[in-house]
Amino acid sequence: MNAMKKTLICAAAALACSAALAEEIRDYRAAAVAMLKRDFKTRGIATADRVIEDGVQAICNRTADNPPKDIVARLEQDALESIRYPADGQFLGDWKEGEKIAQNGRGMAWSDPAGAPGGGSCYNCHQIGPQETSFGTIGTSLYQFGKLRGNTPETQRYVYGRLWNAKAFNLCSAMPRFGHSGALTDQQIRHLIALLLDPQSPVNSK
């Protein structure tokens, strides 16, 4: 069964669940979605269709980020199967380039130019390198990540997947799906893997 079909079945299941919720709550949600579709317009690269939820977003929105376990398992599996791993099997880029991408908070907004490579906004939410003290706390600390996890091929592959589609590992994660959405290229993801795993990266110093 293809991923789309599975997603649709899950969406139907979630709809059935939400029928148990109070009538007016469903009405407000429907009204909110209709209002957003009416009021939000394409500007630059941010096209109007972005306000339409995809399957994962819809399930998380409808369940306050807490979908039933079986739906979580199936949608995470779908997401996992959708990850496109690099054909050459190379996961490790240049950690110095990775640091630049982690620092860069631009990309995918209507103020960003079309075609220009965006950043990963990583420091917005994560502690990463020891020299950068301006880091956010929405995500976990990634300092010493490679030291703790080891720079094995399995870990490299895992980190690639996590960056490509974080929702494959935690369905309603706050982290964007950088590969899935096209926010980062495969090459940029490789550089970020190096930032996290390369023993030479300051992330793993000392």
Q: Is 46 in the site for another protein (CB under 8 A)?
A: yes
Question: In this structure, are residues 95 and 198 in contact, taking their beta carbons and an 8 Å threshold?
Answer: yes
The only residue of 74, 162, 177, 190 in contact with another protein, by rule CB under 8 A = 177
Give me Rg for the CA atoms of the chain.
Answer: 19
Instruction: Give the tokens for residue 61.
Output: 């929105």
Instruction: Give the tokens for residue 76.
Output: 């995470």
Choose between 57 and 200: whose C-beta lies nearer to another protein: 57
User: Rounded to 5 degrees, what are φ and ψ at 43?
Assistant: -140, 125
From 52, 41, 50, 56, select the one nearest 8 (Cα to Cα): 56
Choose between 125 and 195: whose C-beta lies nearer to another protein: 125
CA distance linking residue 193 with residue 167, whole number of Å: 18
Closest approach of Cβ 198 to another protein, in Å? Answer: 24
The only residue of 4, 8, 15, 31 in contact with another protein, by rule CB under 8 A = 31
The only residue of 1, 16, 20, 64 in contact with another protein, by rule CB under 8 A = 64
CA distance linking residue 133 with residue 72, whole number of Å: 35
Number of residues in contact with another protein under rule CB under 8 A: 47
Q: Is 41 in the site for another protein (CB under 8 A)?
A: yes
Closest approach of Cβ 170 to another protein, in Å? Answer: 12
Residues 68-107 that bind another protein (CB under 8 A): none
Tokens 């094995």 sit at which residue? 152
Choose between 24 and 154: whose C-beta lies nearer to another protein: 24
Tokens 């099997």 sit at which residue? 89
Choose between 1 and 131: whose C-beta lies nearer to another protein: 131
Q: Is 125 in the site for another protein (CB under 8 A)?
A: yes
Give one DSSP letter per residue of 65-116, joined into a string.
Answer: T---HHHHHHHHHHHHHH----TT------HHHHHHHHH----SSTTSPTT-
Choose between 46 and 92: whose C-beta lies nearer to another protein: 46
Residues that bind another protein (CB under 8 A): 24-25, 28-29, 31-33, 35-36, 38-43, 46-48, 50-53, 56-57, 60-61, 64, 108-111, 123-125, 133-138, 167, 174, 176-177, 181-183
